[in-house]
Amino acid sequence: MKKSAKPLILLTLFYMVTITLFILGYVGIKLKCEELTKQKFLTEQELENTKNWQLNLSAQNQALTSEDRIVPLAENELGMIKPAEIPVELTVDKDKIENISKIIKDKYE
C-alpha cells in the first residue's frame, strides 16, 4: 500500500503559516516599539523645551522686578524720592488701647 502525501503537505503548510504569523507578529510589535520610542523621545524634547521656556520667563520676571530696575524708574519717571530717614516705629500696648477706647465710649454715652 502506498501512503498519501496529503497529511505531510497539510502539516508542512500548517507549520509555514504558523511561522509566518509569528514573524509578522514580531515585526508588528517591533514597529510599534520603535514608534513608541520615537514618541517618547519627542515628548521628552517638548518637556525640555517647556522647562527652558519656563526658566526663561522666571529670569525675565526677576530682571523686571529687581530693585536695581525699579528704583531708577520710580525716581526718574514717577518723581518719587527715597525718605532721608527710616520712619520711627511706635509700639503700643493693646490693653491700653482697649482701656482708652472704653473710657471714650463711656464718656460719649
pLDDT tens digit sequence for 92-106: 889 999 999 999 988
Q: In this structure, is residue 106 part of a structural domain?
A: no
Which residue segment(s) compose the domain that 46 sits in? 8-83
User: How many domains in the chain?
Assistant: 1
* Mean pLDDT, all residues of the chain: 91
Q: In this structure, is residue 20 part of a structural domain?
A: yes
Q: In this structure, is residue 37 part of a structural domain?
A: yes
pLDDT tens digit sequence for 19-33: 999 999 999 999 999
Assigned C-alpha cell, 82: 527715597
Task: Give me the mean pLDDT over the 26-53 stretch.
Answer: 98
Tell me the C-alpha to C-alpha distance, in Å, between residue 61 and each of 56, 67, 93: 9, 12, 41
Q: In this structure, is residue 72 part of a structural domain?
A: yes
Q: In this structure, is residue 99 part of a structural domain?
A: no
82-93 residues labelled b (16+ CB within 10 A) or e (exposed)? eeeeeeeeeeee
